[in-house]
Amino acid sequence: MTDPIYAIPDIHGQAAQLEQALALVARDGGPDARIVFLGDLVDRGPDSRAVIERVMQGQAEGHPWTVLRGNHDQMFLDFLDTGSLQFRQIKSGLSWLDPRLGGAATLASYGVTETRDAAAWRAAQAAVPQAHRDWLAGLPLWHEVGALLFVHAGIRPGVPLDDQTPEDLQWIRDGFLDYEGAHPWLVVHGHTALDFPQYFGNRVDLDAGAGYGHPLWPAVFEGTNGWLLSKAGRTPLCP
């Protein structure tokens, strides 16, 4: 029997939902359950700092948790490092501080309420602990477990894993979401919010829009068989 591995998709600053997801995982798999967090810990929701601290704490306590770095985590880091607010991958041209992207909510969770670009950058550099920045910067972009590949956004089909670009791993949609062929693994990802998690045969998208106030669905996989977790127990994820 394959040991179960759990996945928690894009949390987006929803600390209360994170605690509920962790409780569901613990009830199903016990306190030492292996969890992969699919990235996008921050932005939009009100408690990005609390989410980061909770996951860091879990790792420090020795829980077998793997945390991936999503595109929103990367934007937060890039802002802290360089003051960047515009990202070419954002086709709308919105600033990271715009409510639709949610950077201002992340800064507010650190006590930064300044909205002017340069002033917000200076305040954030003083407010965000270096330990948080170092931890985010050290997060991996993918995690391979047997027949499963966990990644934030997806992969470029046909490209070896070691040759995948960080941009694709954190941002890809075109060329991945519409690809119907087999991958070397079942790809488990978030990034693209759906109304409900869905198993597409060659991939599973677990992002159901927690960043917009919708439910955060943890899942469990045994090999390529998957289930969503709720208070009622396991619900099969079927292609």
Average pLDDT for residues 82-96, to the nearest whole number?
A: 91
Contacts of 115 by beta carbon, 8 Å cutoff, 6+ apart? 97, 104
113-117, 133-137, 151-155: least confident range: 113-117
* Sign of the alpha-carbon dihedral angle for 153, 75, 97, 43: positive
pLDDT at 130 over 70: yes
Token digits for 199? 């198993």
Length of the chain: 239
Which of 89-117 are b and which e, b meaning 16 or more Cβ less than 10 Å from the residue's Cβ? Answer: ebeeeebbbeeebbbbbbbbbbebebeee
| Whether domain 5-141+191-237 has CATH 3.60.21.10 | yes
pLDDT of residue 63: 97
Task: Write the pLDDT tens digit of every residue in 91-120.
Answer: 899 999 999 999 999 999 999 998 888 899
Residue tagged 């869905």 (tokens): 198
pLDDT in tens, 156-184: 999 999 999 999 999 999 999 999 999 99
Q: Tell me the C-alpha distance between 183 and 198, whole Å.
A: 17
Calculate mean pLDDT across residues 66-71: 98
Task: Give the C-alpha separation, 221 to 224, whole Å.
Answer: 6
pLDDT, position 1: 58
Question: What does the pLDDT look like over 184-236, one tens digit per residue?
Answer: 999 999 999 999 999 999 999 999 999 999 999 999 999 999 999 999 999 99
Calculate mean pLDDT across residues 34-38.
98
Question: Mean pLDDT in the chain?
Answer: 96
b/e per residue 122-135 (b: at least 16 CB within 10 A)? ebbeeebeeebeeb
Least confident of 12-26, 79-93, 175-189: 79-93
In percent, how much of the chain has pLDDT > 70?
Answer: 100
* Cross-strand pairs, 67: 37
Instruction: Please enumerate in sequence order all residues whose Cβ is within 8 A of that of 194, keeping only pairs 6 or more positions apart, or say none.
Output: 205, 207, 208, 209
Q: What distance in Å separates the CA atoms of residue 79 and residue 81, rounded to the nearest whole number?
A: 5
CA–chain centroid gap for 228, Å, is: 17
Long-range contacts at 23-30 (CB < 8 A, ≥ 24 apart): 24/218, 24/229, 24/230, 24/231, 25/218, 25/220, 25/229, 28/4, 28/220, 28/229, 28/233, 28/234, 29/4, 29/220
